[in-house]
Amino acid sequence: WIFARFLDIGSCTLLAREVADRGLGTPRGNRIDKKCLYRMLSNRAYLGEAVHKGQSYPGEHDAIVDRETWDRVHAILQESPRKRAARTRAETPALLKGLLFGPDGVAFSPTHTRKGDRLYRYYVSQTVLKHGAGACPVGRVPAGEIEAAVIDRLRAVFRQPEIVAGTWKAA
Could you report the per-residue pLDDT of 3-50, keeping only the tens digit for each?
888 888 888 878 888 888 888 888 888 888 888 888 889 888 888 888
Phi/psi of residue 144, nearest 5 degrees: -60, -40
User: Has this prediction a pTM greater than 0.75?
Assistant: no
- What pLDDT is attached to residue 148? 94
Break the chain into its structural domains and give their ranges.
Answer: 2-80, 92-170
Q: DSSP string covering 75-134, please?
A: HHHHS-HHHHHHHHHHHS--TTTTT-B-TTSPBEEEEEEEETTEEEEEEEEHHHHHH-GG
Could you report the per-residue pLDDT of 109-157, keeping only the tens digit for each?
998 888 887 888 999 998 888 877 778 888 889 999 999 999 999 999 9
Q: Residue 80, Cα to own-chain centre: how many angstroms?
A: 13
Band (pLDDT 50/70/90 cuts) for residue 85 is low
- What pLDDT is attached to residue 152? 94
- What pLDDT is attached to residue 154? 92
- What pLDDT is attached to residue 84? 66
**CATH architecture of residue range(s) 2-80:** Alpha-Beta Complex (3.90)
- Of 105 and 13, more confident: 105
Integer CA distances (angstroms), 39 to 22, 45, 159, in order? 20, 11, 58
